[in-house]
Amino acid sequence: MNYRHAYHAGNFADVVKHAVLARLVEYLKQKDKAFRVIDTHAGIGLYDLGSEEAGKTGEWRGGIGRLLDATFSPEAAALLKPYLDAVGETDASGELSFYPGSPLVVRRLLRKQDRLSAIELHPQDVQLLKELFAEDFQVRVTELDGWLALGAHLPPKEKRGLVLVDPPFEKEGEFLRLVEGLQRAHRRWPGGIYALWYPIKDRKAVAGFRQALADAGIPKIMDIGFEIRRPSSEPRLDGTGMIVVNPPYTLERELNVLLPALHALLAEEKGSGWSLEWLAGETVSG
Ligand code: SAM
C-alpha cells in the first residue's frame, strides 16, 4: 500500500468528490430517520496543507484553493454551502491550513441520530483516524479491507444511508474490483445509495468500466465525469469520475448547477468538460 492521499488532498478530484458527497448527505437529512454512511477507504480524515507532502505537489491550490475566495451564483453557492462549511474556515490571511478527508466532511454534516463507519486498511492511517474520532460515539473506525466491508457491513441496521468507495487505484484490476464489489454490495443492500470514485486517466479502462456497469443488472446508475484537461498523451489524471447508484431524485438537477460552476473554476484547458449520464435507468440514451 504505497498510495498516500496527503499528496493529493484538496485537489480538484477531492473537491468534486466531496461536494457530491455533501449533496448526498444533505439529501439523507431531509427525513428525521437516522442513516449511516460507510466509507470503505477512508484515509486519515484530516490533511495538513502545510505538510511536506502537500507542499511537494501543491495540488490543493488548483482545487480547494480556487474555491476559497470565488464568487458563485446564488443557486450554486447554496448547493456548495454544506461542503464549504465542512471544509472550515480560512485563517486571518485567507489561507486554509487543513483540508478534511471524506470521513470528516461526512462527520461535520451528520445530525446526532446519524452514524459513520470509517474503514481503512493502512495501519498508520487507521491509527490517525482512530485518534481523530476518539470518543466520538457517532463514528466507528475499523481496520479492515474495505472490499470485505462491502459484504460484511451491509446492510447497516439503520437501513438508510450511503456507501462511499474510494480506492487508491494503485493496483491493476481496480475497475473490475469496483464493479464486482458494487454487485456484491447491491445484492445485499439494493436500497442503499452508493458513490464510487474513479480516475479519468486511462480512457480505454474508463470506457470498459462504464460498459461493465451498464451491463451489471443494477437498475439506477448515474455517471459523473469531470475533466480539467483534454486527453493527455502521457497517462495523467485529466479528470475525476463518480458513479452514483440510486441517486436521490434531486441530484441530477443539483449537479446541472454545481458541475458547470466548479468546472468554470477548476478547468485547466479549454475544450475539457463535464458530463452527467445515466448508465442504467431513468433517461438512458441509445
Ligand atoms: N476517501 C478519502 C477521502 O476522500 O478523503 C481518500 C481515500 S484514498 C483515495 C484511499 C485510501 O484507501 C488510502 O488511505 C489507503 O490507505 C486506503 N486503502 C488502500 N487499500 C485499502 C483497502 N483494501 N481497504 C481499505 N482501505 C484501503
ipTM of the complex: 0.99
Out of 2, 20, 121, 163, mutate this one to test ligand 1's pocket (max ligand atoms within 8 Å of CB): namely: 121
Q: Which residue has the higher pLDDT, 237 or 233?
A: 237
pLDDT of residue 91: 78
- 99: pLDDT strictly greater than 80: yes
pLDDT of residue 285: 54
pLDDT-derived band at 61 (thresholds 50, 70, 90) equals very high
When pLDDT is averaged across residues 183-199 and rounded to a whole number, the result is 97
Condensed to tens digits (0 to 9), the pLDDT of residues 156-168 reads 999 999 999 999 9
261-266: long-range contacts at Cβ-Cβ below 8 A with a sequence spacing of 24 or more?
261/72, 261/73, 261/76, 261/80, 262/15, 262/16, 262/19, 262/226, 263/226, 263/228, 265/66, 265/67, 265/70, 266/12, 266/15, 266/16, 266/62, 266/63, 266/66, 266/226, 266/228
pLDDT of residue 69: 87
Which residues contact ligand 1 via a Cβ below 6 A? 1, 3, 5, 14, 17, 41-43, 101-102, 119-122, 125, 145-147, 166, 168
166 in active site: yes
* Binding site listing: 18, 41, 102, 120, 145-146, 166
Condensed to tens digits (0 to 9), the pLDDT of residues 16-57 reads 999 999 999 999 999 999 999 999 999 999 999 999 999 999
Closest C-alpha residue for ligand 1 atom 9: 168
pLDDT-derived band at 286 (thresholds 50, 70, 90) equals very low
Range from 104-113, 249-258, 259-268, 276-285 carrying the lowest mean pLDDT = 276-285
For 135: left if phi > 0, alpha if psi spans -120 to 50, otherwise beta; the answer is left
* Binding site listing for S-adenosyl-L-methionine: 18, 41, 102, 120, 145-146, 166
- 234: pLDDT strictly greater than 90: no
CA distance 265 to 189: 37
pLDDT-derived band at 284 (thresholds 50, 70, 90) equals low
* Ligand 1 geometric centre to CA of 153 (Å): 17
Closest C-alpha residue for ligand 1 atom 6: 43
Q: Does domain 5-217 have CATH number 3.40.50.150?
A: yes
